[in-house]
């Protein structure tokens, strides 16, 4: 098990924009994918006191050996990228959306005066 302090990014280097983050294990496999509207705030929550984390989250943080992130333009882009990467990497600590479940989606029509849900 890795000590999260060994791979914790310096607070100032984590951006405050929305984005998607990936925790990787010692073999560089993606073990968790998450999204955030503020990457700095969300990632710092993983490195707070390990005793305050839920057991699954604590196990993930101690299994990981690195964390990386990708900044996107909006929260919606983060949601879409998170979903794509969960399907692509099938991370062991992402319990939801593994099977045939999917995220809700919205279709916006351009030919109507007001967009309507479909």
Q: What is the pLDDT of residues 37-59, one digit of tens each?
A: 999 999 999 998 888 999 999 99
Contact residues for 65 (Cβ-Cβ < 8 A; gap 6+): 2, 6, 7, 24, 25, 26
Q: Look at phi and psi of residue 41 and say left if phi exceeds 0, alpha if psi is from -120 to 50, else beta.
A: alpha
Q: Of the ranges 43-47, 72-76, 85-89, 92-96, which one carries the lowest mean pLDDT score?
A: 92-96
The dihedral of CA 71, 49, 89, 100: what is its sign? negative
Task: Output the pTM of the full model.
Answer: 0.80
Average pLDDT over residues 79-97: 91
């Amino acid at each position: 098990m890795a000590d999260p302090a060994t791979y914790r990014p310096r607070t100032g280097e984590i951006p405050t924009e929305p984005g998607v983050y990936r925790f990787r294990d010692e073999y560089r496999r993606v073990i968790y994918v998450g999204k955030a509207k503020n990457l700095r705030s969300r990632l710092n929550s993983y490195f707070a006191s390990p005793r305050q984390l839920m057991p699954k989250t604590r196990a993930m943080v101690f299994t990981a050996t690195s964390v990386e992130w990708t900044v996107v333009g909006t929260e919606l882009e983060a949601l879409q990228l998170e979903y794509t990467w969960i399907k692509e990497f099938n991370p062991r600590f992402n319990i939801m959306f593994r099977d045939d479940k999917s995220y809700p989606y919205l279709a916006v029509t351009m030919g109507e005066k007001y967009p309507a849900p479909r």
